[in-house]
Amino acid sequence: MSNLFVTDRTRALRPSIQAYLDEHILPNELAWLKQPFGELESMLRTHKKAMQNLGIWNLYHGADHGGPELSLTEVAQVGETLGQTVFGLFLCNAQAPDAGNLELLLKYANPRLQKRFVAPMLAGEMRSCFGMTEPDLAGSNPVRMHTTAVRDGDTYVINGRKWFTTGADGASVCIVMAITNPEAEKPHQRASMIVVPTDTVGFLRERNISIMGHEGSGWLSHAEVSLKDVRVPVSNRLGGEGKGFLLAQERLGPGRIHHCMRWIGMAERSFQLMVDRAASRELSDGVMLGDKQMVQTWIAESRAEIDASRLLVLHTAHAIETEGAKAARDQISIIKFTVAGMLNRVVDRAIQVHGGLGVTDDTILSFLYREERAARIYDGTDETHKASLARRILRAAKR
């Protein structure tokens, strides 16, 4: 970690978090991943309490909401440590999509919604989901949307279908993106965010989507949901009508910092597994896997790519803090496709070094491979980020 960004708080927090993960979480992770999430939740509450005692709870919030008052660069550093394990951020109530949803609810929800949903979410007693992507339209162009919310007096009537709604299985509330202003001149002004309790008549979780043969359950799942004549009060809208994408942009910059540092934590863990395997696997008498030049190349390239990615993300977090997300939008695009690509390459190399073992569920690598391949797709595809970055660079060159 670059000393430029290390603070007294991160210097104190990260070793204690690492020690707790090493003793209580990492040794049990593979066994936990083979159990239905519903069977784990009660047991995980014990570890959530331990995270609270360590001062890591509601990671992205201040003291008024039970958080540690970390800056974005501090959050990024702690997020890397927690990102080593699938359960890290969940155990400190900072998991996606709840973390971003909480930020929106705290800022825009009316007192009725805050009382019903925000307090239990801050306490880690309730989960949420976010319904945006639709199965029949390209997720890379999110302004195209079939889901509508038609006003009927003081009520919205919502109809549509969403998928890759992470954590919908067991969630109590969904923030739904729906078209409320179809005649708006600009596509980005047509959709609104609407809070829909999942027990509302007409809201149905159709299925958990199978990801490379694994459906998952609870928070560790991605669902397809349908909304059929779902009726909620107009007061359930977050922000102004037609402001859905404006609100979405508010959570994207910091959200990508959170994702990227979590990916770096995963990459570090995969890297260490790769190094340990290369150093301990004997190919023939006295010849270790790590003696092979190709494996040495993978190790060297992975070390360089992880370190470079970390510095890019910390630089971007600092830019967001000091200049704002809009000024840092080029850096935000850069880290998204750079770190996602790095993670995929490092995990793939680690699997290759493990040979047949790497594709089994006897290590964490196969889980990371199937779950995080989508890092290059969700939250903006690599291609979308590269194209938008290039266009901004070219426009600047013409001035």
Give tens-digit pLDDT for 206-250: 999 999 999 999 999 999 999 999 999 999 999 999 999 999 888
If one compares 252 and 113, the residue with the highest pLDDT of the two is 113
Report the pLDDT value the prediction gives residue 6, as an integer from 0 to 100: 87
pLDDT in tens, 362-375: 999 999 999 999 99
Please give the share of the chain, as a percent, with pLDDT higher than 90: 89
226 lies in the same domain as 249: no
Query: CA 287 to CA 292: how far, in whole Å?
Result: 9
Once rounded to an integer, what is the mean pLDDT over residues 171-187? 96
* Residue 161 placed within a domain: yes
66 lies in the same domain as 149: no
238 lies in the same domain as 250: no
pLDDT above 90 for 379: no
User: Which parts of the chain are beta strand (E)?
Assistant: 128-131, 148-152, 155-166, 173-179, 191-197, 203-208, 216-217, 220-233, 237-238, 282-284, 287-288
Q: Amino acid identity of 281? A: R
| Residue 116, C-beta contacts closer than 8 angstroms, at least 6 positions apart | 197
Taking residue 376's Cβ as centre, other Cβ atoms within 10 Å add up to 19
281 lies in the same domain as 388: yes
- Residue ending a domain, among 80, 99, 118, is 99
298 lies in the same domain as 221: no
CATH of the domain at 92: 1.10.540.10
Report the pLDDT value the prediction gives residue 249, as an integer from 0 to 100: 85
Average pLDDT, the chain: 94
Report the pLDDT value the prediction gives residue 302, as an integer from 0 to 100: 98
316 lies in the same domain as 378: yes
pLDDT in tens, 297-342: 999 999 999 999 999 999 999 999 999 988 999 999 999 999 999 9
* Residue 110 placed within a domain: no
pLDDT in tens, 264-301: 999 999 999 999 999 999 999 999 999 999 999 999 99
pLDDT in tens, 24-56: 999 999 999 999 999 999 999 999 999 999 899
Tokens of 363: 């290590």
Q: How confident is the model at residue 1 (pLDDT cuts 50, 70, 90)?
A: low
30 lies in the same domain as 158: no
- Residue ending a domain, among 242, 262, 296, is 242
Q: Which residue has the tokens 């993300």?
A: 313
* Residue 106 placed within a domain: no
CATH of the domain at 180: 2.40.110.10
Query: Cis omega (within 30 of 0) on the bond before 97?
Result: yes
If one compares 240 and 398, the residue with the highest pLDDT of the two is 240
Report the pLDDT value the prediction gives residue 399, as an integer from 0 to 100: 78
Instruction: Give residue 393's domain range.
Output: 245-398
Once rounded to an integer, what is the mean pLDDT over residues 91-107? 94
Angle (CA) 375 357 336, round 5°: 15
Please give the share of the chain, as a percent, with pLDDT higher than 70: 99
CATH of the domain at 345: 1.20.140.10
Report the pLDDT value the prediction gives residue 3, as an integer from 0 to 100: 65
186 lies in the same domain as 295: no
* Residue 211 placed within a domain: yes
326 lies in the same domain as 378: yes
* Residue 329 placed within a domain: yes
Q: Report the number of distinct structural domains present in the chain.
A: 3
Report the pLDDT value the prediction gives residue 2, as an integer from 0 to 100: 54
Q: How confident is the model at residue 139 (pLDDT cuts 50, 70, 90)?
A: confident
